[in-house]
Each structure stands twice: as C-alpha cells, then as structure tokens.
C-alpha cells in the first residue's frame, strides 16, 4: 500500500488546527498527483477513439472517393483535434476518478483515511477541484479555439473539393421585423452582391394592417447614419383597408430607418459549431427577429448546451469519485468499461433531451441542462451513500 509521508509534527500540537491544515494539504497533493496520470491517459485514449470514429474514417473516404489531397486531410484532421479534445476531457475526468478512487479502495487506503476521521466527501474534494479546472479548460476550448478551428477546417475542405462556401447569401434575402409581437415590416431582396440589395420590396404594417409598400432597384446600408439608403424607387401609401392607394411617390434616393439585420442575415454563413457563445447568441436574436420560430428554438437549445456542457466535467468527477469510494473492488478494465457505459448513458439522455427541447416538448433550459442536473443529483446521492 502506498503510504502518505507523515508531516513533521515535532513542533506541532495535534490539537492545533494548523496540524490538520497541513495534513489536509498533503492529502490533496497526494490525490491530485494520483489523478494526473490516469487523466492524461484518458485524454489520449478518448481523443484517439473519438477522432478516429468521428473524423479520420470520413476523411479517408473523402481521399479515396473524392480525391481529397492527403495533405489537406492531415490539416483538416489537425484542425478537428480541439473539438474532439473538448469531448475527451470530461470522459478522461470520469475515468481518472473511477480508477484512482477505486484503487484506493482496493488497497484499503480509503479504510485507513476513514479510520482517521477523513470523510468520503473530503476525499472527493481533490477530484472535484480537478474537475472544476477541467471545466474551465473545456469552456475556453469551446469558446475561443473550437469555433475558429472548425470554420478553418470547413473552408479547407470546401476549397479542396471545389465546393467553395459563398461569403454571403446572394439571393432571396427575407427578413421580418416585429414590434410587441405584431408584424411591423417585411424586407425582401431578390439579389445581393455583397454590397447592394437589389430588386428590393419593403412592406410596412400598422396594427397588423399593410400601410406602405416600398419598391426600389437597390438599397445600401449606411453605417454612419445607421439607416438604409434606398435608390430609384416608388413608395405606395395604402388606405386603412389596404385596398386603395392614398399616395404614390417616386424617389431617386431616400432613407429607411431599419436595422442592419437583413445585411447580417445575408452575410452570416457559419454553422453553430463554428460560432462562439456570443456569436451564437447574436445570431439567435437575429433569427428570432425573422419569425423563424423553429430554427430560433434550435439555436436557443444549442446556445444553452454550449453553456451547460463544460460542467459535465465536474459531474463526471463527482460520479467517478463517488463510485470509486463505494469500496467495491473493481479492476481497471472494468473501470474503463463502466466509464464507457456512463458516457453512453449521458450522451443518450443529452440527445433525447435536446430533441425534445427543439420539438417544444421540454423548455429550452431543461432540454440543455437536464443531463447535467441529473448527473449532479445522482453523483450527490452516490457520494452521500459512500459517506455513510
């Protein structure tokens, strides 16, 4: 049995609280040091498995079937590493806690610690602290590294396969604006060249009734004045019953006090996987303004999932430590198998909850946070049982 080196108590009184502070600090360092190697092994193992199944096989198929250059495939694989690393970190956290705390139980160190008055909850603290640190690391990866890497990987693939992604949506730009849940304006442009919206029609509504129609050849966003400059058009003012024209006015140039949302909608071509939390939130607000309720809800669930996912590192640390502290003898291979079973269960619940959230069966918050909340409750219950 590995022994914890005893502190030098020559000048310490055992009744002095400082003695226990020193002892607990030694305990934390001992457990954190024991957790590091299994954690790094888990990162390597789960990263290799997920990268192979999630990207490598598909890239090899692209190389053989579509002629993707091998050099490009290698670059894309490298750019995919951060996203799969973000998935591997919580898995590795679970494996490390399961293996280390189970090993302490097999070697009767848990029994020794408990006989000295150290509770199971106190023994789980180092694992939870490491899980919290991994949570911050996972969040940083998902927010600052993964979106940019995924976007670059997508661009590389598109260029190599001669399927270059357009820098903007070049036709049929459609945007609806609401005020107090009532439709206030509809913006439609037939074409967009990256600068000018062409063949533009704008419908304005008052209390649900169509009151004005603007038809112009082109429109340009004026960033200085924060308005749209409309060129060569006609304005039609309608009667209260929207059946007859009250006035018709032609113009060479006028302005429209509408937000730049249609331009943002036309120039955003990234997927949610290629956006940070801030970018996803901005895009969600933009889509919400168009009235596309289903897509806006999907983005809202995805946004909450981006916030909730990193905390699964703490959940897995809690569950792994609690199971290890049960003092049931389990081999390392069984610990790895149990890790896979827990991971599979988590992702199954997560997929079902997200699907129900996007369908409107569950609330957006519950759909994204249910697996994390359930994990905390289960882990807390297991730790309570281990502490009895």
Is 176 in the same domain as 158?
A: no
Is 209 in the same domain as 336?
A: no
Q: What is the pLDDT of residue 251?
A: 92
Alpha carbons 255 and 231: distance in angstroms, whole number: 9
Q: 271 in a domain, yes or no?
A: no
For 66, the domain range is: 17-163+308-387
Q: 268 in a domain, yes or no?
A: no
Is 32 in the same domain as 128?
A: yes
Domain C-terminal end among 237, 259, 281: 259
Does residue 311 come out as left (phi exceeding 0), alpha (psi in the -120 to 50 range) or beta? alpha
Is 195 in the same domain as 254?
A: yes
Q: Which residue has the tokens 């002629």?
A: 67
Q: What Å distances lie between residue 73 and 86, 150, 151, CA to CA? A: 21, 14, 15
Instruction: Tell me the DSSP string of 5-44.
Output: PPP--TT--TTSHHHHHHHHHHHHHHHHHHHHHHHHHHHH
Q: What is the pLDDT of residue 19?
A: 42
Alpha carbons 194 and 228: distance in angstroms, whole number: 15
Q: 297 in a domain, yes or no?
A: no
Q: What is the pLDDT of residue 105?
A: 87
Q: What is the pLDDT of residue 147?
A: 96
Measured between its terminal Cα atoms, the distance across the chain in Å is: 24
Is 94 in the same domain as 204?
A: no
Residue by residue, pLDDT tens for the chain (388 residues) are 444 444 443 444 434 444 444 455 788 889 999 999 999 999 999 999 999 999 999 999 999 998 899 999 999 999 999 999 999 999 999 999 999 998 888 888 888 888 888 889 999 999 999 999 999 999 999 999 999 999 999 989 988 887 767 778 889 999 988 887 788 899 999 999 999 999 999 999 888 788 899 999 999 999 999 999 999 999 988 876 656 666 688 999 999 999 999 999 999 888 899 999 999 999 999 898 887 889 999 999 999 999 999 999 999 999 999 998 885 655 555 667 788 889 999 999 999 999 999 999 999 999 999 999 999 999 999 999 988 8
Is 203 in the same domain as 250?
A: yes
Domain C-terminal end among 221, 239, 259: 259
Q: What is the pLDDT of residue 153?
A: 94
Global pTM reads: 0.83
Reading the block at residue 228, the tokens are 């749209």
Is 100 in the same domain as 205?
A: no
- Identify the bridge partners of residue 182 per DSSP, sorted by sequence position: 179
Is 45 in the same domain as 67?
A: yes
Q: 139 in a domain, yes or no?
A: yes
CB 170 within 8 A of CB 191: yes
Q: 178 in a domain, yes or no?
A: yes
Angle at 365 between CA 364 and CA 368, to 5 degrees: 85
Query: Cβ neighbours of residue 364 under 8 Å, at least 6 residues apart?
Result: 297, 300, 301, 304, 357
Q: What is the pLDDT of residue 10?
A: 42
Is 24 in the same domain as 124?
A: yes
Provide the number of structural domains found in the chain: 2
Domain C-terminal end among 222, 240, 259: 259
Q: 336 in a domain, yes or no?
A: yes
Is 191 in the same domain as 69?
A: no
Is 61 in the same domain as 118?
A: yes
CB 46 within 8 A of CB 91: yes
Q: 286 in a domain, yes or no?
A: no
Is 50 in the same domain as 154?
A: yes
Q: 114 in a domain, yes or no?
A: yes
């Amino acid at each position: 049995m590995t022994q914890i080196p005893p502190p030098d108590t020559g000048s310490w009184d055992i009744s002095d609280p400082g003695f226990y502070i020193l002892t607990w600090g030694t305990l934390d360092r001992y457990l954190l040091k024991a957790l590091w190697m299994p954690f790094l092994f888990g990162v390597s193992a789960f990263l290799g498995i997920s990268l192979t199944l999630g990207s490598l096989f598909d890239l090899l198929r692209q190389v053989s079937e579509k002629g993707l250059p091998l050099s490009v495939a290698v670059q894309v694989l490298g750019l995919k590493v951060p996203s799969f690393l973000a998935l591997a970190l919580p898995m590795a956290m679970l494996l490390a806690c399961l293996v280390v705390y189970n090993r302490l139980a097999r070697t009767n160190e848990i029994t020794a610690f408990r006989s000295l008055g150290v509770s199971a909850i106190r023994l789980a603290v180092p694992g939870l602290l490491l899980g919290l640190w991994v949570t911050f690391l996972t969040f940083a990866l998902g927010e600052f590294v993964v979106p940019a890497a995924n976007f670059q990987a997508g661009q590389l693939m598109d260029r190599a396969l001669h399927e270059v992604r357009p820098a903007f949506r070049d036709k049929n730009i459609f945007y609806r604006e609401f005020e107090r849940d009532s439709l206030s304006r509809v913006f439609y442009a037939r074409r967009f060249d990256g600068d000018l919206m062409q063949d533009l029609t704008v419908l304005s509504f008052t209390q649900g009734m169509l009151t004005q129609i603007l038809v112009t050849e082109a429109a340009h966003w004026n960033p200085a004045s924060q308005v749209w400059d409309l060129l060569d058009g006609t304005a039609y003012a309608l009667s209260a019953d929207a059946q007859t024209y009250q006035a018709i006015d032609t113009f060479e140039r006028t302005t429209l006090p509408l937000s730049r949302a249609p331009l943002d909608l036309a120039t955003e071509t990234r997927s949610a996987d290629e956006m940070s939390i801030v970018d996803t939130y901005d895009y969600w607000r933009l889509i919400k303004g168009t009235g596309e309720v289903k897509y806006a809800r999907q983005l809202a669930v995805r946004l909450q999932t981006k916030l909730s996912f990193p905390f699964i590192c703490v959940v897995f640390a809690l569950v792994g430590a609690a199971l290890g502290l049960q003092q049931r003898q389990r081999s390392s291979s069984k610990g790895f198998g149990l890790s896979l079973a827990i991971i599979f269960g988590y992702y199954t619940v997560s997929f079902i909850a997200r699907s129900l959230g996007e369908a409107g069966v569950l609330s957006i918050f519950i759909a994204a946070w249910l697996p994390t909340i359930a994990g905390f409750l289960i882990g807390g219950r297991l730790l309570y049982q281990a502490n009895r």
